[in-house]
């Protein structure tokens, strides 16, 4: 493990802890509905809070959360069936998870753009998730140059796409930080 991978993992851990802190502290899942699709224990905890906690689940706004997840799941599955390294069940499922993880933030970003109401902890969560992915790209580049035969084109492409999805958010995040104003995404 190198410093870039460790830093990326720490940003990822921090993002999950920030989101759980937000949900637990303010007893609300507003603006947080679609954030965690693929992290096992943390995702279960987040989804449990949003769906089952008697106070938190009341803050879920079904009218704002209209993103159809099938528009992400089906194309990722079809792409995994067509573009994989070897056509085995495990390889296709792994590739599917990589493709799905790359676009899993889209429902969250769409919801935040629609509501334009981004609280501080949600903004920090999204920033930390984007930083985690950006550091993973640096990790992959480091490994490419320091390890023999390290090349995973699927993770490179998916990771790059995922990081690019955060670029717009990063711009507005840093603008709000620089100007000391509340973070808002354009409609």
Average pLDDT, the chain: 84
Q: What is the pLDDT of residue 79?
A: 95
How many folded domains does the chain comprise? 1
Within-domain flag for 136: yes
Ranking 20-29, 71-80, 121-130, 151-160 by mean pLDDT, the lowest is: 20-29
pLDDT tens-digit series, residues 54-112: 888 887 777 877 888 888 999 999 999 999 988 999 999 999 999 998 998 898 888 88
Decide if 147 is inside a domain: yes
Domain of 131? 3-179
Report the pLDDT averaged over residues 24-53.
66
| Residue 35 reports pLDDT greater than 60 | no
184 belongs to a structural domain = no
Long-range contacts of 177-181 (CB under 8 A, 24+ apart): none
Q: How many angstroms separate the CA atoms of 102 and 120, rounded?
A: 24
Q: Residue 187 falls within a domain, yes or no?
A: no
**What is the SS3 assignment for 41?**
helix
The model scores a pTM over 0.85: no
């Amino acid at each position: 493990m190198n410093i870039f991978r460790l830093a990326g993992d720490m940003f990822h851990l921090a993002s999950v802890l920030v989101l759980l802190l937000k949900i637990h502290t303010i007893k609300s899942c507003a603006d947080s509905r679609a954030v965690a699709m693929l992290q096992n224990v943390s995702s279960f905890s987040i989804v449990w809070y949003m769906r089952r906690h008697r106070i938190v689940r009341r803050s879920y706004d079904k009218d704002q959360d209209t993103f159809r997840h099938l528009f992400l799941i089906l194309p990722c599955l079809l792409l995994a069936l067509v573009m994989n390294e070897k056509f085995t069940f495990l390889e296709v499922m792994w590739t599917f998870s990589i493709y799905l993880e790359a676009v899993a933030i889209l429902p969250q970003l769409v919801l935040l753009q629609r509501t334009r109401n981004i609280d501080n902890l949600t903004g920090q969560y999204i920033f930390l998730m984007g930083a985690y992915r950006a550091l993973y790209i640096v990790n992959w580049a480091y490994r490419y140059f320091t390890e023999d035969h390290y090349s995973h084109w699927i993770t490179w492409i998916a990771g790059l796409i995922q990081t690019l999805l955060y670029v717009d958010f990063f711009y507005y995040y840093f603008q709000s930080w620089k100007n000391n104003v509340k973070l808002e995404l354009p409609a």
